[in-house]
Structure 1
């Protein structure tokens, strides 16, 4: 008997490829072009490039010019950034934004968690309370601001009640004092964000094993100790996420200050935040778009710092 003819390695590889293609064709999995999957990514990628990446690059370029609304600008390098760092209005707005974040973020991390714990229990009528707490989230920010403006003005409901009850002798200047105006805007932001972040915590609490609470209860832990030593450690990653998201939102706050304080940002502009200053500098016939773009980039860098801090804390918690 003669030995079987030997096939070359090249012919063997070709045969295996043909077999693989035949098998893929049988299962309907054949890919005729390597770039076919990328066609599905193209619409989303085009939107990101058009509405995110290109505007960001354009803002960076614009911040290096002295452009205005009605005329193009020439290249000035880092002059706009030097001007911002020497501008008292910029430092006032930066201080207000950082103070706003320092007050709002802890409140929006802790208060929605407590609210979620309260409405987590499945008791009759709890759905009504969940819906009621979430209602401010779906309301327009302008409508919410106008409502609170009506409540806090000198002849509004809050001052009327305080004066009638003789808690104060005269109306409290919630909207005409720079400090109180900023505090009022913080209250509006917290009130509107409670229901939104409550939903985050409800999802996190649903993943906490009941066995942990039962074991803690058997060991004699009360409701407060179970909350501190079981609930909080279990939802800590969600707390870090909420802290990061609320910090980014607080740094971008504009509507609350604008509705409550008007176009000037409160008396003397003392309650202006960075987004408010960007609008004020960049709009109008004399709007300095180059300078406004530079302030926008500085706000972006500040936001990036908070985002990286949240990411670092998340990684440290995972370790």
Structure 2
């Protein structure tokens, strides 16, 4: 055994140990994330590929089916339920997303601060976020019932002479669900905006105040430009969530999708066609693929608009 003059191990003998430690250091992070990656591969990537395959077959729950090409997609655009679901989900995006982008920003601007009072309001507004969607739906179902609190209050104030059919009229069900969605999402997006507001330099507000800008002018000229990237992020997140809405409509309609299933959404249609003994998994997969394409087109459009706006501001 060779040794150095001071009695320690030679340089040649310590090299394998260093290589071993280097290899262990390199592999360790990958070993930690390996279980999570396996779950993602099995339940996301493989499931997505299987959905893509099934979309071109006539498979059901009880039989694998055979390749039918574009037949499912042709049938989709002749399906009254699909066209109704597409209309409802599109209306959901058009009506809900603007409120989801603007209202949480106003709310975050109002409750920003370190005082206990502001902390109480922030906690109050965030509370619906941690509540179960089913519980929220049941609460609002009772509130909007013909004999519920809302109708009783409207009648006592002589605003309406008879109960308003919030849960039985097609359009009122849809807009009531939109209101619940906005109510649920305000606190979540408010917290995101609070983080963005904390990164705005206070000197900008001081300069605007010296120039004579009031609160509204400061909000438009300082706050909104300062959180523009966050607004675009929330626009993307809320668009995806609105087009894929399920819980609010499902619970408010007691899983019936309203009278004649006229309030059905895309996610509810996928659930309806893809579950149960008579499930048409191929047809449901085709609907899922259409949803993926529509949402992807929306995100691409938003990305193009973001670059265009960013280029104009540069």
TM-score by length of 1: 0.88
Partner of 1:218: 210
Partner of 1:129: 121
Partner of 1:14: none
Partner of 2:5: none
Indicate how the Cα distance of structure 1 residues 290 and 27 shifts in structure 2: closer, same or farther if over 3 A, else same.
closer
> Is 1:184 aligned to residue 176 of structure 2?
yes
Structure 2 gap segments, 5+ residues each? 1-10
Aligned-residue offset at 1:163: 1.1
In 2: Cα distance, 1:30 partner to 1:108 partner? 49
Aligned-residue offset at 1:264: 2.1
Q: Deviations over 1:149-197 (max 9, x none)?
A: 0000111100011112111111001010000000000000000000000
Partner of 1:301: 293
Q: Tell me which structure has the larger Cα radius of gyration.
A: 1
Indicate how the Cα distance of structure 1 residues 40 and 315 shifts in structure 2: closer, same or farther if over 3 A, else same.
farther
> Is 1:87 aligned to residue 67 of structure 2?
no
> Is 1:193 aligned to residue 185 of structure 2?
yes
In 2: Cα distance, 1:108 partner to 1:246 partner? 7
Q: Deviations over 1:245-274 (max 9, x none)?
A: 011111111111111112220011111100
Aligned-residue offset at 1:230: 0.5
SS at match of 1:215: helix
In 1: Cα distance, 2:29 partner to 2:127 partner? 41
Aligned length: 302
SS at match of 1:30: helix
In 1: Cα distance, 2:111 partner to 2:260 partner? 43
The residue correspondences of 1:191-270 to structure 2 (distance < 5 A) are 191-270=183-262
Aligned-residue offset at 1:75: 1.1
Aligned-residue offset at 1:48: 1.9
> Is 1:154 aligned to residue 146 of structure 2?
yes
Aligned-residue offset at 1:24: 11
In 1: Cα distance, 2:41 partner to 2:18 partner? 39
Structure 1 gap segments, 5+ residues each? 1-18
Aligned-residue offset at 1:300: 1.1
The residue correspondences of 1:158-177 to structure 2 (distance < 5 A) are 158-177=150-169
Partner of 2:282: 290
The residue correspondences of 1:95-134 to structure 2 (distance < 5 A) are 95-134=87-126
SS at match of 1:232: helix
Indicate how the Cα distance of structure 1 residues 115 and 84 shifts in structure 2: closer, same or farther if over 3 A, else same.
same
Aligned-residue offset at 1:122: 3.0
Q: Is the 8 A contact 1:24 1:30 kept in 2?
A: no
Q: Is the 8 A contact 1:65 1:73 kept in 2?
A: yes
In 2: Cα distance, 1:242 partner to 1:101 partner? 13
**Structure 1 residue ranges, 4+ long, deviating more than 6 angstroms after superposition:** 21-29, 32-37
Q: Is the 8 A contact 1:112 1:198 kept in 2?
A: yes
Indicate how the Cα distance of structure 1 residues 27 and 69 shifts in structure 2: closer, same or farther if over 3 A, else same.
closer
In 1: Cα distance, 2:216 partner to 2:16 partner? 60
Indicate how the Cα distance of structure 1 residues 193 and 36 shifts in structure 2: closer, same or farther if over 3 A, else same.
closer
TM-score by length of 2: 0.89
